[in-house]
Amino acid sequence: QIFMPLNFLGFVYREIRGSLTNIENLFALLEQQPAIVDKADAKELHVTKGEIVFENVGFAYHKDRQILENVNFVVKAGTKVAVVGESGAGKSTLVKLLFRFYDPTAGSIKIDGQDIAQYTQDSVRQHIGIVPQDTVLFNDTLYENIRYGRPDASEEEIQEAIKLAHLDAFVNLLPDKGDTQVGERGLKLSGGEKQRVSIARTILKRPPIMVFDEATSSLDSQSEQAILSALREIAKGYTSFMIAHRLSTIVDADIIIVMDKGQIAEQGSHSDLLNLNGIYTNLWQAQQKNTNTG
């Protein structure tokens, strides 16, 4: 008699914390309040393949300043797209629109043929996993922090996610392994470790579309390699969208979208773009030079 309600309360508690994490993660990435509400007749989005189409998308945060103009691109299901460009070019804004944090002021964004503006925000976000630059950790054990990705995940699934996220060596060194308390009142994790916790959460959630916001802060190269190989692992066969700062991390993307002042300046594979000898080539050469001299 006591067990049932307690069990249920535990479930509710985990559910609430689970959705809190999603919201917190989202805010950590987006740093602002949602600006739109669902239409009264909004439906639930169904994603089977994960194809994304931006069609003539325009967007302005404020009427007097156009941020995105005429953005057109297609991400085929199961492929990897990278978005690059100078600071302020509009990369994060693309992700905010994909997440239905805002609706485009012109054009449409379709996921598997469905115009996301007509569907509930919740159902859109359910199908998209985000690995932000800065992950929020709760004052709880490392295992529980990972379980937030999917509260009903089994112990084996959590272990598997830890492995795929390249966190196992780290966990094995902790005093209480996965039961170690982390967060503000526990062990503080480095930026790269936190990002790998977020990757493990996303592996548990396994959404058809994943968005990675590459950390701008310099991670040590071991951390960076671990993150990159974890990302490759989980993105296999899924649609993935990466906001990239270092071009060396995205040379294998199926398409690279080069944003410049709110418009797509160039798009194609790494070698297509190098052949164009334009903005991408300049960015690439500048970064190569930094790597060689720095």
Q: Which is nearer to ligand ATP, 71 or 158 (CB)?
A: 71
Q: Which is nearer to ligand ATP, 91 or 205 (CB)?
A: 91
Out of 27, 61, 73, 284, the only residue in the binding site for ligand ATP (CB under 6 A) is: 61
What would the two tokens of residue 109 be? 């964004």
Identity at 214, one-letter amino acid code: E
Binding span for ligand ATP by CB under 6 A among 11-19, 85-93, 126-134, 178-186:
85-93
Q: Total binding residues for ligand ATP by CB under 6 A?
A: 11
Q: Which residues pair with 260 in a beta bridge?
A: 263
* Residue 277 in contact with ligand ATP, rule: CB under 6 A: no
Q: Look-up: residue for tokens 């594979």?
A: 269
* Residue 93 in contact with ligand ATP, rule: CB under 6 A: yes
Binding span for ligand ATP by CB under 6 A among 5-13, 87-95, 158-166, 187-195:
87-95
- Supply φ then ψ for residue 60, to 5 degrees: -135, 130
- Supply φ then ψ for residue 269, to 5 degrees: -80, 170
Q: Which is nearer to ligand ATP, 9 or 36 (CB)?
A: 36
Q: Which is nearer to ligand ATP, 218 or 222 (CB)?
A: 218
Nearest residue to 51 via CA among 28, 27, 31, 81: 81
Q: Look-up: residue for tokens 């945060």?
A: 61
* Residue 33 in contact with ligand ATP, rule: CB under 6 A: no
Q: Look-up: residue for tokens 């609430």?
A: 16
Out of 7, 32, 154, 217, the only residue in the binding site for ligand ATP (CB under 6 A) is: 32
Q: How far is the CB of 191 from ligand ATP (least distance, A)?
A: 16
Q: How far is the CB of 213 from ligand ATP (least distance, A)?
A: 8
| Distance of alpha carbon 201 from alpha carbon 287, whole angstroms | 31
Burial class (CB in 10 A: 0-12, 13-18, 19+), 65: exposed
What would the two tokens of residue 141 be? 């054990």
Question: Sign of the C-alpha dihedral, residues 125, 126, 132, 138?
Answer: positive
* Residue 88 in contact with ligand ATP, rule: CB under 6 A: yes
Q: Where do contacts with ligand ATP occur on this chain (CB under 6 A)?
A: 32, 61, 67, 85, 87-93
